[in-house]
Every structure is written in structure tokens, then in C-alpha cells.
Amino acid sequence: MAAIVAICCISCSGHKSDSGKRQVLTVSQAPQKYLLKGIVGDLYDVNVLIPPNADAETFDPSMQTLTSVGESKLFFPVGLAGMEPAIVARIRSGFPSLKIVDTLDGVPLIRGTHAEGDADPHVFSSPRTLKVMARNMLTAMEQNDPQNVAIFRKNYTHLVAELDSLDMEASRYLKNAPRAFAIWHPSLSYFARDYNLTQLTFEAEGKEASPSQFRHRLDDVIASDARVMIIEPTHGTERPATIARQSRLRTAEINLNTEDWPSQFRALVAALSTK
């Protein structure tokens, strides 16, 4: 409550502008910066709410971070992971004049992989979901900065071409790849869905498996055609590496929560398409 009151006090003082600086846009996570910068180019600065090395499901921002979001021209949240819905609610309450964009409008969400009934928050694992988010970003920028529409649309065309190229590349390389892969946390559900793969996890609905569940899931991995254990720095490396040794799997460290999303996506595809 104290944090909300503090935000409200700051917002009531009014937003300061500096004509000598570019206006700021804020996104929730680093892959969104890749998308948004691809559209706005150098016309705006883009800040990221949740640092790339932080777990989006447990991140709790400082007051200074929340204030910087409130001073942005637009805010593009995802609003699904862990603390983020509450964070967005605090920002909305503290900065009622801030325009908040529904980045996920039209994204076909997956449910049942995390807390019961909640949407899977890892929407950045497929270029197909990123294309929908990019379209929502373009629409918001066109509405809020009509004088630069031509620039936004030209940039957007190049961005979509890159995403389409990545999508076709993944489809081609994964066509004859093993159909299953192992991962500790269910972070690649959209990727698995879009490329007809099976994601074998050791954690579900935000909970670590019991000893019996763990044994069952390990047996599933061993019985599958999985060849790779995907390791994500934000969800720990020691346990997945141990499982990989037990299951005789190769390991591939991947972090899709990055502004350099294309290179990490390519690394993921390469890891899974190597038999």
C-alpha cells in the first residue's frame, strides 16, 4: 500500500519533459525491446522493466524503476508472469494518464503449464507469437505518433521479414529432428506447439516434481527420442545438467529473454536439429 501511495504522489507532481532528449517507451521484457526498436528505430529510447538476467516470474521492481515506467510515453507490458500482473496494476493506479498497450491482443495463449488456469507467460519462444505482438506495437505507435507512420511501417516490414525468415528456418531444420526435448521449467511451450515438438519438463504448474513424479518424468525422457536438455540460466543450471548426465543428453544453454533474440532462437533451433 505504501508503494502505491508513493507512486500516486509522484504521478500527481506531473511528468517532466526534456525537449533535448528522445521520448521513452517501456516494455516488460528484453525480447519486446528487440521488437519495438525494430519498429521505432532511433526515434525513441526503449527501456526494459524486467532485466534480462532476472526471472520474470519472481521479479519485484524498485520504486525508482516503477517511476521510470510512469514517465514513459507508452508502456507495453506482457502481464502474465508471476509478479507482473500486480506490478502492472500498481503502475496503472499510480500513473492513470500513462497509456498501456495490450501487447498480447490476438496471441493464442496456452494454458495449464503453470498455475492452474493461468496463461503460459513464455510467449517469446516462437516467432509466430512475436509477429502478433509486433503488430500490436505498430498499431499503438501509429495511433500515438501519426507523423512517423511511414517510418514505423517501413521498419515493421523489415522486422516481419526477419521473423518470417526465422520461422521458415526453424520449420526446415526441425522437420526431421527428434520430436522431443527436455527442459527443467516449461518455458518453451509456444515453441513446442508451433513446431510440433514435445516439451518434457521436470517442473509443472510452478511446482517442483515430487520424488515419484520426478522418477516418472525422468523415465519419460529416457524413453523418448530426446537428445538435448535445454538449460536456462534464469531457472538454474545445476539440476538440469545433472539430469542430462543421468539421461545421456547433450546440453544447450539458451536464454530467449534477451534483446538479441534472433541469435538465441537460432541457437535453440540448431541445438534441437542436431541428432
Which residue ranges make up each domain of the chain? Answer: 2-169, 174-273
Q: Is 86 helix (H, G, I), strand (E, B) or coil?
A: helix
pLDDT reported for residue 52: 76
Query: CA–CA separation, 14 vs 5, rounded Å?
Result: 15
**Average confidence (pLDDT) over 254-273:** 96
pLDDT reported for residue 235: 78
C-alpha closest to that of 265 among 138, 129, 153: 129
Average pLDDT score, the chain: 87
Q: How confident is the model at residue 78 (pLDDT cuts 50, 70, 90)?
A: confident
Using only C-alpha atoms, the chain has a radius of gyration, in whole angstroms, of 20
The better pLDDT of the pair 84, 129 is held by: 129
pLDDT in tens, 116-151: 668 888 999 999 999 999 999 999 999 999 999 999
Range in 82-96, 126-140, 175-189, 226-240 the model is least confident about: 82-96
Query: CA–CA separation, 274 vs 230, rounded Å?
Result: 13
What is the third-level CATH fold of 174-273? Rossmann fold (3.40.50)
Query: CA–CA separation, 144 vs 138, rounded Å?
Result: 10
Model confidence, pTM: 0.87
Query: CA–CA separation, 223 vs 247, rounded Å?
Result: 10
C-alpha closest to that of 207 among 115, 122, 82, 81: 115
| Residues above pLDDT 70, as percent of the chain | 87
Q: Do domains 2-169 and 174-273 have the same CATH topology?
A: yes
Query: CA–CA separation, 208 vs 213, rounded Å?
Result: 9
CATH homologous superfamily, domain 2-169: Nitrogenase molybdenum iron protein domain (3.40.50.1980)
pLDDT reported for residue 84: 72
207 and 113 in contact (C-beta within 8 Å)?
Answer: no
